[in-house]
Structure 1
Amino acid sequence: MTESRYPDSIELCEVAPRDGFQAEDEWIPTEKKIEIIRKLADTGVSSMEVTSFVHPKAIPQLKDAEEVVQAVQDISTMKMRALVPNVKGAERAIGAGIKKLKLMLSATDAHSLSNANATVEEAQKKLEPIAELAEKENVNVGGSISVAFGCPYEGRVTEKQLYPILKRYQQMNVQEVSLADTTGMANPKQVHHMLQDLQAAFPDMTFSMHLHNTRGLALANMAAGMEQGIRRFDSSIAGLGGCPYAPGATGNVPTEDVVHMLEEMSIKSGISLEKIIQAAKEVKNIIGHDGGSYMLQAGPNSQLHDKVESQNKVN
């Protein structure tokens, strides 16, 4: 029997307060955002992307970033990070109390131009002052690459397309990079080969994954990632989320679905399945919808039903 390459435990970063909320057109009151963050922290979530310090005109839903971050500083059981697009955003985030910044780049020029109004090289150059500021302020920085497996404008992305981006990140002293399947174009075989190649080419870099469930393959891709040694993944309660600049993008892989899969595989996440399903139901009620959660539709395997005594069959 082949020895399993699955881990004993992994770390999930909850991204609904940023990636999920940014996709909502209807204003979510600040107090409701804070309430949701606290509910999620109570489930055992140990890492969270709580907001993004973008210009309010770009994403009005996150214009209350400072207020949200400052209101949850007392949650000592959870590491908090924030997405920052530029130095101004980084300064705001650090001022609000954020200790880890997340940078964002696209794998292709077409997506970068639609998302950041700049080519990949131009966008990455603009991130260098953020890394310098973070080092000066003793704040951690993680990188990310959107559409890392496939771009809705340019198609499939190859490993070699990511090399110059990752090398530039290394030069910026960013050693942790999230590979994002922004529009759900990845498949498990591709994930396997991509990670195998990147980890061989960049052995000192720590990779994580940010998966969207656009075509129903997020959990399968996560399993492929775990087999290749990935131990950090992003997920979003109730499957909320979706890039505003990615055509057809749906929500992130639902946190409750991930926790259920992990429990069935005896892999620890530190998150209570019962509590995260209940939190997902409450978040769905607050937001008004979910993003395609199997746990909210079918429930966990442990949720058994009354036995059917007999059936009337028509011949």
Structure 2
Amino acid sequence: MTTRELPMTVPSEGLPARVRIHEVGPRDGLQNEKGTVPTAVKAEFVRRLAAAGLTTIEATSFVHPEWVPQLADAEQLFPLVAGLPVALPVLVPNERGLDRALSLGASRIAVFASATESFAKANLNRTVDEALAMFEPVVARARAAGAHVRGYLSMCFGDPWEGPVPVPQVVRVCKALTDMGCDELSLGDTIGVATPGHVGALLTALAGAGVPAPVIGVHFHDTYGQALANTYAALQHGVTTVDASAGGLGGCPYARSATGNLATEDLVWMLRGLGIDSGVDLGRLTATSVWMAGQLGRPSPSRTVRALSQQQEQ
């Protein structure tokens, strides 16, 4: 990429020097597709993301095929990418999913909890506490096998059935996940209703409850155009792990009002402008998202992908 195609770097005080991007496109992005993407295309997507400099790429989910048919090929996909020199987390819903993942050598496991009763019922057909009880042996067994465990927590800021989610309610479930042994949490704004002040209030409350910023990642959706502003607020509070999806792919199949994830390219553009290192080659990443958009038969929703692609065509 030329200098003309990159933002001017103007560092801001109080922000981290480096951010680790947790790329969720191959899992969270593709699980929301109406059609099924061929396994070979998924594997090539992961390879291209790794070549662009992403070091954590969520590969797939070991859920029952009836739940998420788009990811039914987990057993076929994971061996195709397992040799890449990157971290490849996989989502597991229960002990059976954990068995499938561990049998293929997965060393980074994620479980998916909810901060609200309504979404826990819709997503897992359990109460919040019943879901936590189900995850406890999963986390324990994963840790015993030497795996790193991430705890996703959805509906941290708002729920389509319950409305705004009280901060103490989210803190309680976060504490439960860390107490059971999760190494890392990902705070999900599943329907994209968070604003920077709300983000700051939750992170401050978590720190006060003994859940510090270094173990927290943030996962924002851009429903109301707030994902980058919310990410900036999280950086101001010491968060250094940000979830994003190449090309802005994805949403949530169990929450109709959820639109796409924060686009990785949009995040990298902001980080570059702030002088924050992510290790990602924006040109190669953009090319990857353009390629994937072609495989899906539609343009990328990422503003940065569109802008850079137009510049290169001129």
TM-score by length of 2: 0.92
Counterparts of 1:1-315 in structure 2, within 5 Å, are 4-76=13-85, 78-203=86-211, 206-290=215-299, 292-299=301-308, 303=311
Deviation track 1:122-166 (CA, whole Å, cap 9, x = no partner) reads 111110110121122121111111011111111111220023212
Secondary structure of 1:80 counterpart = coil
Alpha-carbon distance in 2 for matches of 1:51, 1:63: 9
Contact 2:300/2:306 (CA < 8 Å) preserved in 1?
A: no
C-alpha displacement of 1:47:
0.4
CA distance in 1, matches of 2:89, 2:186: 13
Shift in CA distance, 75/193, structure 1 to aligned 2, threshold 3 Å = same
In 1, Cα distance between the equivalents of 2:275 and 2:41? 33
Q: Aligned equivalents of 2:36 and 2:141: distance in 1?
A: 32
Give the TM-score, by structure 1 length: 0.92
Aligned partners of 1:69 and 1:97 also within 8 Å:
no
CA distance in 2, matches of 1:253, 1:283: 16
Distance 2:178 2:280 in 1: 32
Q: Distance in 2 between matches of 1:260 and 1:135?
A: 35
Distance 2:249 2:160 in 1: 20
SS of corresponding position for 1:88: helix
Classify the secondary structure of the residue corresponding to 1:111. Answer: helix
**RMSD (Å), alpha carbons:** 1.9
Q: Deviations over 1:181-218 (max 9, x none)?
A: 01101001111111111112124571110111111110
Query: Deviation per CA, 1:23-50, whole angstroms, max 9, x where unpaired?
Result: 0121111000001111111000000110
TM superposition shift of 1:291: 5.7
Whether the aligned pair in 2 keeps the contact of 1:236 and 1:255 (CA below 8 Å) is yes
Q: Determine if contact 1:238/1:254 at 8 Å carries over to the other structure.
A: yes
CA distance in 1, matches of 2:164, 2:288: 36
Max Rg structure? 1
Q: In the alignment, residue 140 of structure 1 is paired with which amino acid?
A: H
The alignment-based identity, stated in percent, is 37
Change (3 A) 1:220 1:63: same
- In the alignment, structure 1 segments of 5+ residues that lack a partner are 307-315
**Cα distance in 2 between the residues matched to 1:246 and 1:291:** 21
Partner of 2:8: none
Gaps of 5+ in 2: 1-11
Between the aligned partners of 1:290 and 1:188, the Cα distance in structure 2 is 29
What corresponds to 2:6 in structure 1? none
Alignment size in residue pairs? 303
